[in-house]
Structure 1
Amino acid sequence: MIGTLQAIIIVTFIVILIITLLALIDIARSEFTGNNKVVWVLIVLFTNFLGAILYFFIGRKQKIKQ
């Protein structure tokens, strides 16, 4: 049986993983100026959840509008 604490940890891990993957997918589908795409991918990969949150608040404004 899974305890309450273990269930909370698993759900938290899954949410963090989903947010990180969503950020990486959005970065891959978007166009950026210069090397911003590579920089954002590295930030999200190395800082995981924090990098994804930073991307959603800062990086999305740097995308080239089409």
Structure 2
Amino acid sequence: MEYKKTIGYLAVLLTILIWGIIFISTKVLLVDVQSVGILFFRFVMGFLVLLIVYPYCIKETTAK
């Protein structure tokens, strides 16, 4: 049980670090890159991270 708690704390710490870095990096990038380019890059990075974390395809369901 202690292992899961430690993993949870590390996940929260990683989220806080990424969340804090995003604001600083966006301000720096806006000098050279358009905001649409930054937005596109953030969505692509998020998509790739989700593919790594959850690589299985979502099964299709049929409406009854």
- TM value normalised by structure 1: 0.45
- TM value normalised by structure 2: 0.46
